[in-house]
């Protein structure tokens, strides 16, 4: 199965690169390649590297195929979900915006935290109100609390708001932080170390 997964990734690379195929790589028909890719199985280290380095067109094709068949980010194994967040965190393609939105509300804390970080970097100094509102919604997610105390993802969200900047981000971040003593202390710490855009 691992060889099939690697062959699928290599075939995707081959298709996106206009027929280039590394020596010895199996080539599968396009539909078979996408249909046989097991999104629920954890990626091996080489598979993950291939995925990260793949041309964006190949990844977009893979994502579009899966969504068209009713499979969204939450159905991928968590290793693949982190991979999607990483590659989409540096892309302005519409499919990547959808990936990052889903990741911000993922079942895995580490995926949610990484998505918040990527939103902050992507929209740094833009003052984008839609991004601020999305981050605020994520901050309020009850899964970001444990026994009433904020998990580290909330700090990532507040930091991302500071990165996005603008009056709306600062006012929203201040209001959200004020709801929890630990978050309020973190917000003040960001202000003291010059993290106000």
The pTM for the full model equals: 0.80
Rounded average pLDDT over 98-121: 96
Spatial separation of the C-alpha atoms in residues 59 and 90, rounded to whole Å = 13
pLDDT for res 194 = 65
C-alpha 87/C-alpha 38 separation (Å) is 19
Measure the CA angle with vertex 46, ends 72 and 94; round to 5°: 35
What was the pLDDT predicted at 134? 97
What is the residue-averaged pLDDT of the chain?
A: 83
Asked which of 10-14, 43-47, 66-70, 135-139 is least confident by mean pLDDT, the reply is: 10-14
pLDDT, tens digit, for every residue of 74-83? 999 989 999 9
Q: Does the structure show a pLDDT above 50 at 136?
A: yes
Asked if the model's pLDDT at residue 12 lies above 60, the reply is no
Phi, psi of 27, deg, nearest 5: -115, 130
Q: What is the pLDDT of residues 20-60, one digit of tens each?
A: 233 333 222 244 456 667 888 888 888 888 888 889 998 99
Distances (CA, A) of 55 to 48, 98, 103: 13, 18, 21
């Amino acid at each position: 199965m691992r060889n099939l997964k690697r062959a699928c990734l290599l075939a995707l690379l081959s298709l996106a690169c206009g027929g280039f195929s590394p020596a010895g790589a199996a080539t599968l028909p396009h539909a078979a390649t996408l249909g046989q890719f097991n999104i629920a199985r954890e990626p091996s280290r080489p598979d993950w590297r291939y995925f990260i380095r793949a041309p964006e067109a190949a990844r977009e094709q893979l994502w579009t195929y899966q969504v068209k068949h009713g499979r969204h980010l939450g159905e991928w194994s968590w290793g693949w979900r982190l991979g999607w967040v990483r590659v989409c965190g540096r892309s302005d393609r519409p499919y990547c915006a959808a990936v990052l939105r889903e990741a911000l509300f993922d079942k895995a804390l580490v995926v949610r935290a990484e998505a918040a970080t990527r939103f902050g970097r992507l929209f740094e100094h833009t003052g984008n109100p839609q991004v601020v509102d999305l981050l605020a919604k994520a901050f309020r997610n009850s899964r970001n609390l444990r026994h009433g105390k904020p998990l580290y993802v909330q700090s990532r969200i507040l930091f991302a708001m500071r990165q996005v900047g603008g009056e709306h981000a600062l006012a929203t971040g201040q209001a959200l932080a004020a709801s929890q003593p630990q978050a309020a202390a973190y917000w003040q710490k960001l202000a003291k170390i010059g993290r106000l855009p």
